[in-house]
């Protein structure tokens, strides 16, 4: 009965999304057309002389047999058979020990055991990325000279794990061993959380008092208007980018604090704004606040790209830009409360992926999931990855399963060029076994590659060298690669009964054992492709399998 109900509800949701909000766009590679002319001036005549490209010169030449022989023929790149591409991630929150570690004060061995269990769960359920919170409150779940060890590790801020280890490095290595992209999630401005114990001498609040602000609910916040705040957080971000082999940096929705954090009172920055006006500033206070955040977002994106272009930068803003955008939408106004001009950052392409927190149901009229998703996609002018954050806990196994899989299917229909979503959070997947099993059975049955990011890099890796060995009723496929350090995953393609299938393997795997036949159909072809860190796949070369059926 559940399967029937799920299918009908999912199909209805999928149709609802596609009928009103399909906004798929081709991926933009960011290259100029080959025929674009450059104009320069002659020193003698000062006239503008069009400079034609080599391609245009070739086009103007008369076609002769000799010219045909001399003109090099560019070999067409052969893509592999179909491989599912979809970003499948879950947030792992460390603030208040929401997801990891389960409580502060655990031993190193207990922390590592819990971490491995979470990563194994994601791998076994065919996720391909993890969003790990490494800086919950201006502290560090890693070795840092800028901020103290996190309270949520030991229960004592500033105290390193004992026996010593670097949790961030441990998570990173374990995630990559399992073929999971590893994105480091940071809160850019929160300095102290209400669950983070007392503010001690080890706290960043005490170390950097010049740009700290106390809020009415017991939290502390870094003042986004101050250059010292932006410089400090930028140093924290770039310290991680430089020292760790991560796949992404991730910000959530906390820019200026929610009004409730200060009990409805205005953020205490009147003196800063007055100084801005004294120095000739003309913006209104709300616009000034937004400009502070805008400058910071742009700065972080450009700094990451200058240091490591292959590292993605993603933001997960509040899911509603403003009430009335689109017209049926109601709810909180992040533009005027958080001073987050989240539409601008996406419009300008200051991100590699965007994950608005669309934590509402499909049928929730004022905050409908497909309606909001369609609006954000219409604002995606640079065709960045749009991987919405989705709520996977609506109060039980069956409701969660129906809603979650329906929303996944909607993203596939509305965003066919770059499918994906991030699940808030890993907690409900563990709490509701039918939910996690149902996602695996219905939506994530096959592993998937993360969609490529051609504006970051579109150079395919080299072709692997493949060997096939037949032994009895089995066939072993082995391969080597000239640049293995550049490879993040392998895809092994194989054909039975004229149909291609595939398996995605982690970078440390170098062979795959296949049966010689399945249901009487002989294994006839195989091929192996390499996939790099930005999702580029090598050219496909198939090899025939010569076997004799018993």
DSSP assignments along 297-336, one per residue: HHHHHHHHHHH-TTSEEEE--BS-SSTTSSTT--S--HHH
Are residue 425 and residue 513 in the same domain, yes or no?
A: no
Mean pLDDT, residues 72-90 taken together: 91
What is this structure's pTM? 0.88
Q: Dihedral through CA 96, CA 98, CA 101, CA 103, nearest 10?
A: 60
Quick check: is 51 in a domain?
Answer: no
Decide if pLDDT at 38 tops 90: no
How far apart are alpha carbons 210 and 197 in whole angstroms? Answer: 21
pLDDT at res. 72:
58
Q: Quick one: pLDDT band at residue 73, thresholds 50, 70, 90?
A: low
How does residue 524 score in pLDDT terms, banded at 50, 70 and 90?
Answer: very high
- Quickly state the pLDDT bin for 547 (edges 50, 70, 90): low
Q: Who wins on pLDDT, 244 or 40?
A: 244
- 94-151 pLDDT, tens digit each: 999 999 999 999 999 999 999 999 999 999 999 999 999 999 999 999 999 999 999 9
Does residue 7 register a pLDDT over 60?
no
Residues 358, 500 within the same domain: no
Stretch 426-448: mean pLDDT: 97
Do 510 and 401 share a structural domain?
no
Res 536 pLDDT > 70: yes
Interval 335-344: pLDDT, tens: 999 999 999 9
Q: What's the average model confidence in pLDDT over 65-90?
A: 79
What H or E segment, with its residue span, contains residue 236?
helix 227-243
Q: Over 90: is that where the pLDDT of 314 sits?
A: yes
Task: For residue 351, give the 3-state DSSP assignment.
Answer: coil
Task: Mark whether 150 and 290 lie in a shared domain.
Answer: yes
What are the Cα distances from residue 396, in Å, to 364, 399, 405? 18, 6, 14
Residue 73 in any domain: the answer is no
Is the pLDDT at 74 greater than 90? The verdict is no
User: What is the CATH number for 397?
Assistant: 3.20.20.80
Stretch 196-212: mean pLDDT:
96
The pLDDT of residue 19: 37
* Measured distance CA(152)–CA(104) in Å, rounded: 5
Task: Check whether residue 386 and residue 351 sit in a common domain.
Answer: yes
Domain closes at, from 442, 475, 504: 442
- The DSSP bridge partners found for residue 221 are 190, 213
**118 close to 132: Cβ distance less than 8 angstroms:** no
For every residue of 392-456, DSSP letters joined together read --SSSHHHHHHHHHHHHHHHHHH-TTS-EEEEE-HHHHHH-HHHHHHHHHHT-SS--BPPP-TTT
Distance of CA 246 to the CA centre of its chain: 12
In a domain, 38, yes or no: no
Sign of CA dihedral 55, 61, 63, 69: negative
Q: Could you tell me the pLDDT band of residue 397, with boundaries at 50, 70 and 90?
A: confident
The domain tally of the chain equals 2
> From CA 15, how far away is CA 512, in angstroms rounded?
39
Q: Both 435 and 512 in a single domain? A: no
Q: Which residue has the tokens 């995605």?
A: 504
Q: Give the domain extent around 411.
A: 87-442
Structure tokens given for 466: 């493949």
Mean pLDDT value across the chain: 89
Percent of the chain with pLDDT over 90: 84
Residue 265 has pLDDT above 70, yes or no: yes
Asked if pLDDT for residue 282 goes beyond 60, the answer is yes
The answer to the question of residue 149 being in a domain is yes
Same domain? 425 vs 495 = no
Whole-number pLDDT of residue 546: 85
Task: Give the pLDDT of residue 22.
Answer: 41
| The predicted structure's pLDDT at residue 396 | 84
Beta strands 129-135 and 220-222 are: unpaired
Q: Check which CATH number belongs to the domain holding 475 and give it.
A: 2.60.40.10
**pLDDT for res 1:** 41
Q: What is the pLDDT of residue 49?
A: 32
Helix %, strand %, coil % of the chain (to 5) = 35, 20, 45
Q: Which band of pLDDT confidence, cut at 50, 70 and 90, is reported for residue 548?
A: low
Does 385 fall in a domain?
yes
What per-residue confidence (pLDDT) applies to 399? 87
Q: Which pLDDT value is given to residue 395? A: 87
Share of the chain above pLDDT 70, in %: 86
Q: Is residue 407 part of a domain?
A: yes
């Amino acid at each position: 009965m559940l399967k029937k109900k799920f299918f009908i509800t999912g199909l209805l949701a999928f149709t609802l999304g596609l009928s009103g909000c399909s906004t798929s766009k081709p991926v933009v590679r960011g290259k100029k057309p080959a025929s674009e002319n450059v104009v320069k001036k002659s020193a003698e005549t000062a006239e503008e002389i069009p400079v034609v490209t080599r391609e245009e010169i070739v086009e103007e030449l008369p076609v002769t047999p000799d010219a045909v022989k001399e003109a090099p023929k560019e070999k067409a790149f052969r893509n592999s058979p179909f491989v599912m591409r979809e970003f499948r991630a879950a947030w792992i929150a460390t603030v208040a020990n929401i997801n990891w570690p389960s409580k502060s004060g655990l031993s190193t061995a207990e922390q590592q055991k819990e971490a491995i269990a979470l990563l194994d769960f994601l791998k076994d359920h065919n996720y391909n990325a993890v969003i790990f919170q490494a800086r919950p409150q201006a502290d560090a779940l890693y070795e840092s000279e800028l901020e103290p060890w996190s309270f949520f590790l030991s229960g004592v801020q500033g105290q390193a794990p004992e026996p010593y280890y670097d949790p961030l490095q441990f998570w990173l290595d374990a995630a990559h061993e399992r073929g999971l992209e590893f994105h480091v999630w940071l809160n850019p401005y929160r300095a102290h959380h209400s669950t983070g114990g007392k503010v001690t001498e080890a706290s960043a609040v005490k170390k950097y008092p010049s740009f700290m602000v106390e809020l009415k609910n017991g939290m502390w916040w870094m003042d986004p208007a101050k250059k010292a705040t932006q410089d400090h957080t930028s140093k924290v971000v770039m310290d991680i980018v430089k020292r760790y082999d991560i796949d992404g940096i991730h910000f959530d929705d906390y820019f200026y604090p929610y009004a409730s954090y200060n009990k409805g009172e205005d953020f205490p920055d009147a003196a800063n704004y007055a100084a801005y006006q004294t120095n000739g500033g003309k913006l209104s206070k709300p616009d000034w606040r937004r400009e502070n955040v805008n400058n910071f977002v742009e700065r972080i994106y450009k700094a990451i790209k200058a240091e490591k272009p292959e590292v993605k930068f993603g933001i997960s803003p509040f899911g509603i830009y403003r009430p009335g955008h689109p017209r049926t939408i109601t709810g909180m106004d992040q533009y005027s409360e958080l001073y987050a001009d989240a539409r601008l950052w996406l419009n300008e392409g200051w991100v590699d992926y965007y994950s608005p927190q669309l934590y509402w149901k499909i049928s929730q009229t004022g905050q409908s999931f497909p309606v909001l998703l369609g609006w954000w996609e219409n604002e995606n002018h640079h065709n960045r990855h749009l991987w919405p954050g989705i709520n996977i806990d609506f109060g039980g196994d069956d409701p969660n399963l129906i809603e979650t899989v329906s929303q996944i299917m909607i993203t596939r229909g509305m965003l066919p060029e770059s499918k994906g979503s991030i699940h808030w959070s890993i907690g409900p997947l563990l709490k509701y076994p039918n939910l996690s099993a149902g996602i695996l059975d219905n939506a994530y049955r096959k592993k998937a590659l993360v969609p490529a990011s051609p504006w970051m890099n579109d150079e395919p890796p080299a072709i692997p060298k493949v060997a096939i060995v037949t032994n009895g009723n089995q066939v072993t496929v082995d391969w080597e690669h000239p640049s293995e350090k550049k490879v993040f995953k392998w895809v092994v393609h194989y054909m039975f009964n004229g149909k291609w299938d595939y398996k995605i393997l982690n970078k440390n795997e170098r062979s795959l054992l296949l049966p010689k036949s399945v249901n009487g159909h002989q294994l006839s072809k195989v091929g192996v492709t390499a996939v790099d860190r930005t999702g580029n796949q090598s050219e496909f070369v198939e090899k025939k399998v010569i076997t004799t059926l018993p």
